[in-house]
Amino acid sequence: MLKNYDWPGNVRELENVIQRALVLTDTALIDENCILITPQAIPVSSPLTKDYLYSKRRARSIVRPRQVAMYLAKILTNYSYPQIGSRFGDRDHTTVMHAVRKVEDMIAEDKQFADDVSMIRSLLTS
């Protein structure tokens, strides 16, 4: 099944998907119903360097993690929108405001995304 899928990420991401499927399945066999590959799931778990987060690139695979990082910076620190924007590649404060709103909307709409953000938050605060 996975041989036919054009995997957009790296091997670690694929390994994480398979490990999640092993944990979530009740049987010894993993089939396509056990593996949910969604575009929303990939960016949050993607390992990115600071250079990518601070870059001017606007690819979705970079923008979504950057938005989550901005959101976490806002809720976990006392930094203002302009201060966060300057730390993320000298972005305008309205870009940070948009990122925070976008992530809040996605958290409200997508339980898996909300769980992923919550997990990242708990890793940062523990």
Structural domain boundaries, residue 29: 1-37
Summarize pLDDT for 99-116 with one digit per residue, the tens.
999 999 999 999 988 988
Please tell me the total count of domains within the chain: 2
93, 100, 53, 60: which is closest to 76 by C-alpha?
A: 100
pLDDT, position 19: 65
- DSSP 3-state assignment of 59? coil
Shared domain check, 9 and 62: no
Distance spanning both ends of the chain, measured CA to CA? 38
Summarize pLDDT for 37-80 with one digit per residue, the tens.
444 444 444 456 777 778 888 887 788 889 999 999 999 999 99
Shared domain check, 52 and 33: no
Summarize pLDDT for 83-100 with one digit per residue, the tens.
999 988 899 999 999 999
Shared domain check, 105 and 51: yes
pLDDT higher at 10 or 77: 77
Helix residue spans in 3-125 (DSSP H): 11-24, 41-45, 50-54, 60-76, 81-87, 93-109, 111-125
Shared domain check, 48 and 108: yes
Full-model pTM: 0.63
